[in-house]
Amino acid sequence: MDVFSSHRQAGEIILDPSKTAVIVVDMINEFCKPGGLMVLPGYEKLVPQQLQVIDAARKNGVPVIWVHDVHRSNVRQDREWLKRTPHCVEKTWGVEIIEDLGARDDEIHVDKRRYSAFFQTDLDLTLKDLGVNQIVVFGVVTNICVRSTVHDAFFNGYEVVVPQDCCAATGPREQESSLYDIATHFGTVSNAAAVSAALAGAGAIEPIEIPA
């Protein structure tokens, strides 16, 4: 660990199901499925671990919130489209959650137009209405939308847990760097098994050390 980052507080976390929500970021067709405009290869490796956490959340009364990247085609300029290939046009197949995860209509769905799920959406208000102050965040991609969401969650006062085996980045370097920064500055990095057990009241989450 670098000298600066070594000055940190690290300890176990106990999740309270009555004050926790699971936030699934951008597990949508556009980023995962053949035919999507910006596919991240290997999404299928995340699905079993993601389903483990989602199932544990549902069984223990923890809200599951689905975040969709959604953009309007008729605006003069979209900040993301100035940097990235146009993608995720509203009301198209691309913005739908992949069928593999079984998202339900009676669960909460949030549309975002920037990388962070908090930026000018009603996510913060929704979490406050749910009485939530702890969140589990995962999805794609770790170094862009997941990381941006984690940053804003921390800035807004939430305790954040990221199961590393439920996330994928644009490459191994980006995955390790983002998880290291999250673990050091913004939250706790764990895995699906530990998070699922914690949601079921089976003990505390021990942070995973991410190599510098």
For range 145-173, the mean pLDDT: 98
Instruction: Supply the pLDDT for residue 207.
Output: 85
Residue 43 lies in a domain: yes
- At residue 125, the pLDDT reads 98
> 30 pLDDT band (50/70/90 cuts)?
very high
What total of structural domains would you count in the chain? Answer: 1
According to the model, what pLDDT value does residue 8 have? 64
Q: What share of the chain in percent tops pLDDT 90?
A: 80
Residue 2 belongs to a domain:
no
Q: Quick check: is 33 in a domain?
A: yes
Q: Which domain holds residue 35?
A: 17-199
Looking at per-residue confidence, does 68 or 207 come out higher? 68
pLDDT of residue 7: 58
Q: Are 137 and 87 in contact (CB under 8 A)?
A: no
Q: Does residue 89 belong to any structural domain of this protein? A: yes
In terms of Cβ atoms closer than 10 Å to its own Cβ (0-12, 13-18, 19+), residue 32 is buried
Mean pLDDT along residues 35-59 = 96
Assess if residue 206 is contained within a domain. no
Residue 6: the pLDDT is: 64
Task: Read off the DSSP letter of residue 34.
Answer: T
The whole-number average pLDDT for the span 129-141 is 98
Query: Domain for residue 39, yes or no?
Result: yes
In a domain, 192, yes or no: yes
Question: CA-to-CA distance for 115 and 88, rounded, in angstroms?
Answer: 12
Residues shown for the chain: 212
Q: How far is CA 106 from CA 54, 68, 94, 118, 190, in A?
A: 14, 15, 20, 21, 28
CATH of the domain at 33: 3.40.50.850
In angstroms, the Cα distances linking 117 to 66, 72, 111, 127, 197 are 10, 16, 8, 12, 26
